[in-house]
């Protein structure tokens, strides 16, 4: 093709057809410019597709993280909610001496709590590639960032307070109560039952524990679950749009 255009130019020059040659030269320049613009546009499309693919991949990982978190939260709730019923019964003063003798869960009302570590791979990728999402004015990216900022802070604060309270209870009972060894081994001890039935100290410790773990920590996990389900729906819709 280049040879073909060169022959045309040479023929026009030989025939001294300057005006036609100029028109031809301008046309050739226009064609070259158009070719360059098309190549640039194709390159832009390719780059855009790569970016969209990367965004979709990151969102898919975030979605997977959230689904894993939901499963872990359900496991924690399933394990702890039965203890919550016992805890409330004790705090409300509805436990009898015989109830304590037959209560298997009473040994773990203040001790042995599960927690979860929220998945963070998707969040890390979001933060490392924030310029991509900013350039696209992606509102979902903002929602996800705010979601993690809120819950990572709240859950970290909850767990810090829980660990302090748990340690305080453990040290207090270990150093001050002769029945503690029986208690942790689930051996029925009348001294513990008397303490549980009559001591304001025990009631205070249970009430604080309920506030910190069940109302605070588990409350935030339940809230996390509701908002994560909503985010998963938004991510589902977003990734479907990007795949079409």
pLDDT score at 185 = 86
Does 207 map to a domain? yes
pLDDT score at 239 = 78
Does 171 map to a domain? yes
Contact 212, 154 (CB under 8 A): no
Q: Which two tokens stand for residue 153?
A: 């802070």
Give tens-digit pLDDT for 15-25: 555 555 556 56
111: containing domain:
54-242
Q: Which two tokens stand for residue 79?
A: 């394990």
Is 1 in a helix, a strand, or coil?
A: coil
pLDDT score at 74 = 95
Contact 224, 144 (CB under 8 A): no
Structural domain count, the chain: 1
pLDDT score at 116 = 87
Does 23 map to a domain? no
**What is the spatial distance between Cα 86 and Cα 199, in angstroms, rounded to a whole number?**
17
Does 42 map to a domain? no
**What is the spatial distance between Cα 242 and Cα 226, in angstroms, rounded to a whole number?**
25
Does 118 map to a domain? yes
Low-confidence stretches of the chain (pLDDT < 70) are 1-25, 27-28, 30-33, 35, 37-48, 134-136, 241-244
Does 117 map to a domain? yes
Does 12 map to a domain? no
pLDDT score at 214 = 94
Q: Which two tokens stand for residue 44?
A: 């832009």
Does 8 map to a domain? no
- Name residue, tokens 């209870």: 169
Q: What is the DSSP letter of 109?
A: S
Nearest to 95 by CA among 220, 218, 244, 206: 206
pLDDT score at 23 = 63
**What is the spatial distance between Cα 153 and Cα 136, in angstroms, rounded to a whole number?**
27
Contact 114, 79 (CB under 8 A): yes
pLDDT score at 40 = 63
pLDDT score at 237 = 86
pLDDT score at 180 = 92
pLDDT score at 33 = 67
């Amino acid at each position: 093709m280049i040879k073909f255009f060169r022959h045309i130019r040479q023929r026009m020059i030989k025939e001294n057809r300057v005006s036609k040659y100029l028109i031809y030269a301008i046309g050739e320049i226009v064609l070259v410019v158009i070719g360059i613009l098309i190549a640039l546009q194709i390159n832009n499309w390719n780059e855009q597709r790569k970016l969209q693919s990367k965004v979709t991949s990151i969102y898919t990982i975030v979605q997977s993280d959230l689904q894993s978190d939901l499963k872990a939260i359900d496991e924690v709730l399933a394990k702890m909610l039965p203890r919550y019923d016992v805890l409330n019964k004790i705090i409300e003063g509805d436990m009898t001496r015989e109830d304590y003798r037959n209560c298997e869960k009473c040994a773990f009302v203040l001790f042995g709590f599960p927690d979860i570590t929220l998945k963070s791979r998707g969040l890390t990728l979001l933060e490392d590639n924030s310029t991509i999402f900013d350039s696209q004015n992606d509102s979902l990216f903002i929602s996800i960032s705010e979601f993690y900022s809120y819950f990572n802070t709240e859950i970290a604060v909850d767990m810090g307070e829980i660990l302090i309270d748990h340690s305080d209870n453990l040290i207090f009972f270990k150093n001050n109560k002769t029945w503690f060894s029986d208690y942790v081994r689930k051996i029925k001890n009348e001294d513990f039952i008397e303490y549980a039935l009559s001591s304001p100290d025990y009631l205070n410790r249970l009430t604080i524990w309920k506030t910190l773990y069940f109302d605070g920590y588990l409350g935030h996990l339940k809230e996390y679950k509701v908002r994560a389900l909503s985010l998963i729906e938004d991510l589902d819709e977003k990734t479907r749009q990007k795949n079409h």
